[in-house]
Structure 1
Amino acid sequence: MTRDKEILIQVGDRIRAARKKAEISQEQLGHLSGLHRTYIGCVERGERNISTLNLLSITSVLGIDAGEIITGLKRPPRLKP
């Protein structure tokens, strides 16, 4: 598994945990954030690289700071040969 995929899975796991703590379904989160429920599921499974704006929409609904989702995650820069 690539490092990028690992990061996407960690982000998804953190969003899922926050959603469950808020006691709302993927469908409710999608509706309240203006996103489709299948997109929420893909993000939670690490299948989609979430945009900054979508992350902010989701975390606003969950009542958390977006920083909670990405704190501690690091990705090395992509160096061109």
Structure 2
Amino acid sequence: MLRMLGLEGSDSLRSQAARLGLSVGQLDAFLAGTPVPDDVARDIEWTMHLPTGWLDGAPGEAPVEKAVRELPRH
């Protein structure tokens, strides 16, 4: 998802956090492995126009892997 934000011009942690409605500290903690609470995940999905549960990923697939797999190929 951060790659998607970067492609849209949000290339700093501060701008990515702002786009996601998070503080820089929250985003930094999530990137370090702190679990994302369900209500925060749903808010992020809504903000990014993603389907509910998208951040949960498929069984055995990390959300980052899903995000990269779903990026449009040029």
RMSD: 2.2
Q: Flag structure 1 segments of 5+ consecutive residues without an equivalent.
A: 1-17, 75-81
Q: 2:4: which partner in 1?
A: 21
The alignment-based identity, stated in percent, is 11
Gaps of 5+ in 2: 61-74
Q: Deviations over 1:10-44 (max 9, x none)?
A: xxxxxxxx121232233123223332112112112
One of 53, 63, 69 as aligned partner of 2:39: 53
TM-score (norm 1): 0.50
Q: Which has the larger radius of gyration?
A: 1
The TM-score with structure 2 as length reference comes to 0.53
> Number of matched residues?
56
Regions of 4+ moved over 6 Å:
none
Higher relative contact order (CA 8 A, sep 6+): 1
